[in-house]
Structure 1
Amino acid sequence: MPSIPPMPSFRASARGERAATRSELPRIPVPTARAIVDCGVYVDGHRLPGRFTHRDALAEVRNRGAGFVWVGLHDPDDAQMGDIAETFGLHALAVEDAVRAHQRPKLERYDDTLVLVMRTVAYVEHELHSVSEIVETGEIMVFAAADFVVTVRHGEHSGLATVRQRLEADATMLMYGPGSVLHGIADYVVDNYIDVAASVELDIDAMEEEVFTPRSQVAIESIYQLKREVVELRRAVNPLAIPLQLLGHKSDLPLPKEIRRYMRDVADHHTSVAERITDFDGSLSALISAALAKIGVQQNTDMRKISAYVAIAAVPTMIAGIYGMNFEHMPELRWTYGYPLIIGIIVTICTLLLILFRRNHWL
């Protein structure tokens, strides 16, 4: 087993104030247990058997003087998050962000507690030409200190059960403490970015093929929708670059050296997928220009056809208009074969015009 860097010493941070309640209406407090998805105690890379409340789990770790607690929360309200903050001594500002969500990806430090905010993404299956949501976003907030990790999840698609199972199967990694959980979650989020980017790329490829297929009908609304979703994806992914760089290179953060190495690998993967998403944006901009040009060509073709038909229809209209003036002295007005002659002239001129327009590819 590789040598494990020493865990950073724990210093109890000042107890944070509870986040201010967003509603003035009185409400019945909801037990914190309802927001807790899982709570485990990990010692020497292994999870202790049994079930713990968040208070009992933290007391167990501090009585042992080793290990850490991992509490996972899903959409907690003010009262539930306030209880967690009181137990673990979380800062009031960070707790407020955890309840309200919709934060930009960022890394903050409150004494010995690191707070990492990440946006999660999920691909929504859809029809190619449907104007509907393609990328769904959520949020994960991680509080990591020397002897605990608190994860707060918003959204239905960003479950961390897979991350927990994968880490529990790797005792060597878990021995690095809360930093291993921080890395595992960041790696999971970035891997999702890669998967979603691959799915969006398939949509873009299909849209490009259709736009450049001759005589295909271009649904410009679908392209605009796809571009809007790529913009949303870029806003969720790109801002995470700076926090990952700090976690991988800033040596004064309370993280083991080996975890910082793993974080640099995650940052490299993130850089790759961020550049890929930026390329999507450029490709869709070019695709919109090509689609608009194709629509313009189609409109010009339609206008030529309409103009050709109007020119052909103008011949009988003009002749009928002349003979409809009801002058007394008009050519062939009283001749027996006058009417057939005029009809023949109209048919002849219209046929010549039809042949001419077809030769010039107007019809």
Structure 2
Amino acid sequence: MAFIPSLGGRRGRNPVSAPRPTPARKSEYVVDCAVYVDGKRLPGRWTHTDAVAEVRSRGEGFVWIGLHEPDAEQIQGVAETFGLHELAVEDAVHAHQRPKLDRYESNLFIVLKTVRYVEHESPTTANEIVETGEIMAFLGKDYVVTVRHGKHSGLHDLREELERSPERLSAGPAAVLHGIADWIVDSYLAVSEAFENDIDLLERAVFAPRNPVGAEQMYLVKREILELRRAVMPLANPLRRLAEGCSPLIPDEVRSYFRDVDDHLTTVSERVTAFDELLTTLLDATLAKITLQQNSDMRKITSWAAIVAVPTMVVGVYGMNFDFMPELKWKFGYPLVMVVIFTACLVLYRIFRKNRWL
């Protein structure tokens, strides 16, 4: 059946005659484990061993098992059942990987970064704007194993959406991988749109007469956009390889839809690049305004120091204990000295004001 990406209305699942598996108790790290035949989920709860045995005994369908932050011991049984490569399993456990696509003898291993926009009152006061996580996927002929790191990257809604479109899941595990990639890139678009509003607010704040944005806050926003860039940019090569058919595990009818995801990623990449360049310009403008403000402050300090130097000098002269000083015993001497000091200070003040130092 052809792979159809568009979703219609809600579709009921037709009952499928299948032996009901033995109920399995879910582990903390196993989010869900399901068997799909002809795009429809078989009823019941499955362990990964029972699920793969069911699929291979039928000779059709596939298993989708979702894991959340398993450790090396917890994932070992899944790795042995599906024949996952030990290097890929190690990457899946330890996380903190860049987006990549590794091809092994019987499966593919792909790492995708998830992002979430952190709500805040203003980008000028926020401590965090973008939160990242990871989803790793092992893709085989009759299985897809997803390993999730992070609290915001749950696939429950995506799984339900795919299950409402059996024609999509009928294309096999590659349809699940496409759904995950498409969902993640769509989240990139949503985050970039929210980020664009923040940057517009930041731009207005930077060029406001009384700038409330400091260099530290600009560096924080710059760091957040770089974090988004590290999630988006490296994914281009894996998606392009999937679209070009790097493995027979990706059917021809699915490859074209990876091209569509790649196009959306290109849009996000262009946005992020533009954001990065604009933030660099805003950061330079902020530093320039800070430098100008510091120069202005230094001119004011220097001007007042020059004005204060006049009375300091005069008073210092008269503070020397000599018997013979100009007009020392003249009764108008003190008022005259005060007038001279005031006049000199006023002249200096007017000069500095005229030159815009004060």
- TM-score normalised to the size of structure 2? 0.88
Pairwise CA distance, 1:155: 1.1
CA RMSD of aligned residues (A): 1.9
In 1, distance between residues paired with 2:236 and 2:3?
A: 30
In the alignment, structure 1 segments of 5+ residues that lack a partner are 5-30
Pairwise CA distance, 1:132: 2.8
Do the aligned partners of 2:101 and 2:238 also contact (CA within 8 Å) in 1?
Answer: yes
Give the fraction of aligned pairs with identical amino acids, expressed as a percent: 58
DSSP 3-state at the match of 2:27? helix
Counterpart of 2:114 (choices 109, 120, 133) is 120
2:27 counterpart of 1:54: no
Instruction: Look up the match of 1:133.
Output: 128
Instruction: Look up the match of 2:321.
Output: 326
In 2, distance between residues paired with 1:253 and 1:226?
A: 42
Instruction: Look up the match of 1:181.
Output: 176
Counterpart of 1:214 (choices 189, 209, 213) is 209
In the alignment, structure 2 segments of 5+ residues that lack a partner are 5-24
In 2, distance between residues paired with 1:252 and 1:139?
A: 23
Do the aligned partners of 1:131 and 1:221 also contact (CA within 8 Å) in 2?
Answer: no
In 1, distance between residues paired with 2:321 and 2:336?
A: 18
2:63 counterpart of 1:63: no
Runs (4 or more) in structure 1 with deviation over 4 Å come to 1-4
The 5 Å alignment of 1:138-287 reads 138-250=133-245, 252-287=247-282
The residue type paired with residue 331 of structure 1 is P
Residues paired across the two proteins, number: 337
The residue type paired with residue 221 of structure 2 is L
Pairwise CA distance, 1:251: 6.0
Counterpart of 2:88 (choices 94, 98, 102) is 94
In 2, distance between residues paired with 1:267 and 1:3?
A: 18
DSSP 3-state at the match of 1:118? strand
DSSP 3-state at the match of 1:213? coil
Do the aligned partners of 2:2 and 2:253 also contact (CA within 8 Å) in 1?
Answer: no
1:120-164 per-position Cα deviation (integer Å, ceiling 9, x unaligned):
122223443347333222111111112111100111111111210
Do the aligned partners of 1:218 and 1:295 also contact (CA within 8 Å) in 2?
Answer: no
Instruction: Look up the match of 1:43.
Output: 37
Do the aligned partners of 1:39 and 1:71 also contact (CA within 8 Å) in 2?
Answer: yes
Would the alpha carbon gap of residues 104 and 319 (structure 1) be closer, same or farther in structure 2, given more than 3 Å must change?
same
Pairwise CA distance, 1:3: 7.9
The residue type paired with residue 180 of structure 2 is I
In 2, distance between residues paired with 1:91 and 1:155?
A: 23
Instruction: Look up the match of 1:357.
Output: 352
The 5 Å alignment of 1:76-87 reads 76-87=70-81
- TM-score normalised to the size of structure 1? 0.87
In 1, distance between residues paired with 2:2 and 2:332?
A: 111
1:27-80 per-position Cα deviation (integer Å, ceiling 9, x unaligned):
xxxx98221101111111111222112222212222222211110000011121
